[in-house]
Amino acid sequence: SFNIGLLGVLLFFIVSGTVISSSVERSPSLGVFWRQRFWRLFPAYWASLIVSAAIFLLIPSELNSLVYGHLKERFWPSFAANITMLQGFIGFDHFIPAYWTLGFEMMFYFALTAIVAFKLGKHSHTVLWAITAFILFAGANGLMKGAHVGSFKVILCGYFWMGLWVQRMLKNEVSIEQFWA
């Protein structure tokens, strides 16, 4: 079957990987990059969390269990975890199901920060090939063991890295042949 929503998410991850990697390279420092990211993402995200929490608290419990049933027992801890955008990685439910994509984006920010902080950009080909190999191995290994959800998450990370490959290709640091390989 064809899922247009999933295709949109995958394309978003590729574009996001391209744009974020360009953005981190253009920033004068990692501190500036993180401040810009923070002010671009978190205020709107937190506003949506507050509105979502208000809806949960204001609507009758028989209705909110239909919408927020998965949060009912751990509402406030889940709310606190969602403030970080990393709720899916620290064992909490997403307040709004679409928030899972933001956690992946944050992980990509952390990975790019490590690449810049450890000055691995000089070795971009090696880093890109190593990460690509890891994603392919981890995804295939998980699929062979029947861990479809975990493998899917690893494969999703690969789409961010594909965006990094696109960015390197646009800068003429990676050839079209290397990109397609």
Whole-number percent of the chain with pLDDT over 90: 17
Neighbours of 63 (CB within 10 A): 12
Residue 180 has pLDDT above 90, yes or no: no
pLDDT digits (tens, 9 = 90+) for 63-81: 655 555 666 678 888 899 9
Highest mean pLDDT among 108-112, 124-128, 149-153, 158-162: 108-112
pLDDT in tens, 13-45: 888 888 888 888 888 999 999 999 999 999 999
Q: Is the dihedral of CA 103, 111, 28, 19 positive or negative?
A: negative
Greatest alpha-carbon span in the chain: 58
| Contact partners, residue 23, CB within 8 Å, separation at least 6 | 33, 36
| pLDDT given for residue 139 in this prediction | 63
pLDDT value, residue 25: 84
Which tokens sit at 159?
């789409």
Q: What is the pTM of this model?
A: 0.73
* pLDDT attached to residue 1: 67
pLDDT at 122: 58
Separation CA 96–CA 154 (nearest Å): 22
Contact status, residue 131 vs residue 163, Cβ threshold 8 Å = no
Average pLDDT taken over every residue of the chain: 79
